[in-house]
Amino acid sequence: MSFIYHPDTGKCYYDITVSEYHYLFDGTAIRDYADSELSLLIREYLERKHFSSEEIGKIQVQVI
């Protein structure tokens, strides 16, 4: 379960989707954005910065 805060509305949401994807905020709407290439790019970057793969549970990006 993920906790999402919408900065424009001040509201919080819970998302029960367990797959790895990202969020796009457009006004009051929140859209899911699945991009495995973006997730992999971030995961590889963090591993180069000395985060082990065990420390990285899930990658989520919020684009506002």
Mean pLDDT across the stretch 47-58? Answer: 87
Question: Above 60 in pLDDT, residue 51?
Answer: yes
* 49: confidence class by pLDDT, cuts 50, 70, 90: very high
pLDDT of residue 44: 93
Rounded Cα gap, residues 57 and 8, in angstroms: 27
* CA separation for the pair 20, 11 (Å, rounded): 22
pLDDT mean over 8-25? 76
Q: Tell me the average pLDDT of the chain.
A: 81
* pTM of model > 0.75: no
